[in-house]
């Protein structure tokens, strides 16, 4: 098996994990930057994440154009991924989900989503909300153009995650396993924060605690969770060469 084939299998595994952990359902998608071509990325055709196979994975340029669709339908929201890769050379994976607990934080103004659990420090200091209506007026809320993708990427900035008003969220990482890790704990953070707010005043992680949590995220955490999630999803762990850079917030 070539190194690229191993990466394709790992991208399939990411889809299966996100589905099995109920971070995505029939919708949502995860991509990775091409391991040999940083000016391209890999993303599956339109298909439910739980059903994705290696043959479903397509190659795209950073403008969102398909390299060779071979009759396969590309996701309308490929521009979420293309714009973030274009803006963030440090990002090698992007996850877009509609996980249910994050949605209330995208449509209410009283409380922003903030980490209160140490493993949720990976989501950053506070998760901003991108509102498509601010610049583009009434739309389907889909990020189906380069302009909308770049506007979302601009709001994301150097952060690890952002919410999308009435739509979902995006999480990014220096590698695939980290992006899946952040997407998972974004949902955990939202669920716990709603539970804590119902009980009373919430004590969140301090800025310094979040900085330390971000600085300490590495393979010791992402490989540990990946192994566990792979077992639960019935997927094998394959050895691969990964190129990573620093995580920023």
Enumerate the active-site residues: 77
What is the distance of C-alpha 197 from the center of its chain? 25
Residue the block writes with tokens 């994990």: 17
Cβ 92 vs Cβ 175: under 8 Å: yes
């Amino acid at each position: 098996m070539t190194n690229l084939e191993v990466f394709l299998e790992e991208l399939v595994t990411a889809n299966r994990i996100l589905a099995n952990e109920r971070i995505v359902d029939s919708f949502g998608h995860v991509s990775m930057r091409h391991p040999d071509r940083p000016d391209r990325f890999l993303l599956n055709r339109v298909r439910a994440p739980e059903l994705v196979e290696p043959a479903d994975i397509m190659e795209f340029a950073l403008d969102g154009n398909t390299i060779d669709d071979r009759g396969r339908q590309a996701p309308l929201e490929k521009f979420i991924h293309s714009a973030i890769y274009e803006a963030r050379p440090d990002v090698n994976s992007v996850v877009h989900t509609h996980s249910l607990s994050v949605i209330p934080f995208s449509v209410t103004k009283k409380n922003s989503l903030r980490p209160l659990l140490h493993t949720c420090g990976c989501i950053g200091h506070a998760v901003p909300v991108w509102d498509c209506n601010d610049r583009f007026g009434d739309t389907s809320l889909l990020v189906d153009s380069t302009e909308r993708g770049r506007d979302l990427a601009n709001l994301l900035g150097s952060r690890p995650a952002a919410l999308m008003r009435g739509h979902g969220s995006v999480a990014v990482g220096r590698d695939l396993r980290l992006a899946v890790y952040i997407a998972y704990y974004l949902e955990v953070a939202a669920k716990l924060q709603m539970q804590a707010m119902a009980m009373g005043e919430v004590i969140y992680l301090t800025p310094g605690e979040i900085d330390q949590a971000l600085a300490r995220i590495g393979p010791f955490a992402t490989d540990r969770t990946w192994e566990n999630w792979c077992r639960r999803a019935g997927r094998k762990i394959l050895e691969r060469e990964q190129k990573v850079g620093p995580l920023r917030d």
